[in-house]
Amino acid sequence: MPDNLQLNSEGKLKHFLTIEGLSRRLLTEILDTADSFIGMTGQQVKKVPLLRGKTIVNLFFENSTRTRTTFELAAKRLSADVLSMSMSTSSTSKGESLLDTIRNLEAMFVDMFVVRHAISGAAHFIAQHTAPNISVINAGDGQHAHPTQAMLDMFTIRQIKQDFANLRVAIIGDILHSRVARSEIQALNTLGAAEVRVIAPKTLLPAHVESLGVSVSHNLTDGLADIDVIIMLRLQKERMSSALLPSESEYFKCFGLTEDKLKLAKPGAIVMHPGPINRGVEIDSKVADGPQSVILKQVSNGIAIRMAIMAMAMQKQGASG
């Protein structure tokens, strides 16, 4: 991916496709901008006029309730007009190509596409071929990236822990199939976390995983030592092409997060999960609903972080790029 595809000629955000290649300064600006929106949830009128007159199209080629609804709410709170399209029922299922769909929507004078697609690189492809005045936000593509999820998790971590410099973060579970894990690792390393540790069976780790900038553990008991933040991942059963696990119960026994295992981390450790949760497979309900869980806070923060990214990408209007 060309480094400048996401930025306009002034270095401002134009598209948001991946964390890779973005600076710490820009990621911090996203977090700071989200901070300015977080207080709106308590207001009687939860709207600002920043994107009034703009049209945002949600193009979801993959099902997602939480991501799609938070993008929709975020756009509406910025006063944009929003069109949400379920692409399985649209003309793409009748044989119309992806580019034809984009061209037809461009002819309706839209300003932004929010894209979720099962194929890695789909959002980049659209960003490369769309009109220069349109922004593209990646809402998850294949096994490649889920940058807004990573940023809402960074926002949640910063809210509670304040600073990344001394943090040790463990990402646990299906690293191999997880676009969230890749984006989380990139974001944590860019923001200066002390250590990013992945804990998983060997069958659920990509080859040469250390090259991503992580330390590796295959044992949950040892791996949770000194950890400040625990990010549990869903088993991506729909993306597994073969039997990578003996059974779900065996997986839970070895890698599931229980109250007893949580005690192995630092006393103030927080527990996160990008959802949806498989209770009793990767995490025990008592932990998911317990005092150290910030899972629902992640969902709430998703609106503010997506508002921030949309608002910043729209700043490029009028600038060349």
Domain boundaries, the chain: 3-146+300-314, 147-295
Block residue for tokens 């943090």 = 167
Structural contact between residues 127 and 117, judged by C-beta atoms closer than 8 angstroms: no
CA distance 138 to 22: 14
- What pLDDT does 46 receive? 75
Instruction: Find the Cα–Cα–Cα–Cα dihedral 191, 195, 200, 204, rounded to 10°.
Output: 40
**Has residue 25 got a pLDDT over 70?**
yes
28-48 pLDDT per residue, tens: 999 999 999 987 766 766 789
**Mean pLDDT of the region 184-204:** 96
The CATH superfamily of 3-146+300-314 is Aspartate/ornithine carbamoyltransferase (3.40.50.1370)
Q: CB–CB of 232/272 below 8 Å?
A: yes
Tell me, what's the pLDDT at 66?
A: 81
Residue 321 has pLDDT above 60, yes or no: no
| pLDDT value, residue 320 | 36
CA distances from 41 to 48, 56, 89, 132, 191 (A): 12, 21, 33, 33, 27
Q: How many residues does the chain have?
A: 321
2 has pLDDT over 50? no
pLDDT confidence of 77, banded at 50, 70, 90?
very high
pLDDT in tens, 81-139: 999 887 765 555 555 688 888 898 898 899 999 999 988 899 999 999 999 999 999 99
Mean of the per-residue pLDDT values for the chain? Answer: 89
What is the model's pLDDT at position 246?
64
Q: What is the pLDDT of residue 316?
A: 54
Q: Which CATH class is domain 147-295?
A: alpha beta
Please tell me the pTM assigned to this model.
0.90
The DSSP call for residue 39 is G
Q: In this structure, which amino acid lies at residue 91?
A: S
- 121: exposed, middle or buried (Cβ count in 10 Å: 0-12, 13-18, 19+): middle
- Report pLDDT digits (tens) over 277-314: 889 989 999 999 999 999 999 998 999 999 999 999 99
Catalytic residues: 66-67, 94, 116, 146
Task: Give me the pLDDT at residue 143, please.
Answer: 83
pLDDT value at 197 more than 70 = yes
Domains 3-146+300-314 and 147-295 share a fold: yes
- The pLDDT > 90 percentage for the chain reads 68
Residue 240 has pLDDT above 50, yes or no: no
- Residue 276 has a pLDDT of 86
Least confident of 151-155, 205-209, 255-259: 205-209
Mean pLDDT across the stretch 250-254?
89
Residue 186, pLDDT score: 96
Average pLDDT over residues 63-90: 85
Q: Enumerate residues 6+ apart whose C-beta is below 8 A from 20.
A: 1, 145, 186
Is the per-residue pLDDT at 146 higher than 50? yes
Lowest average pLDDT, out of 95-109, 224-238, 260-274, goes to 95-109
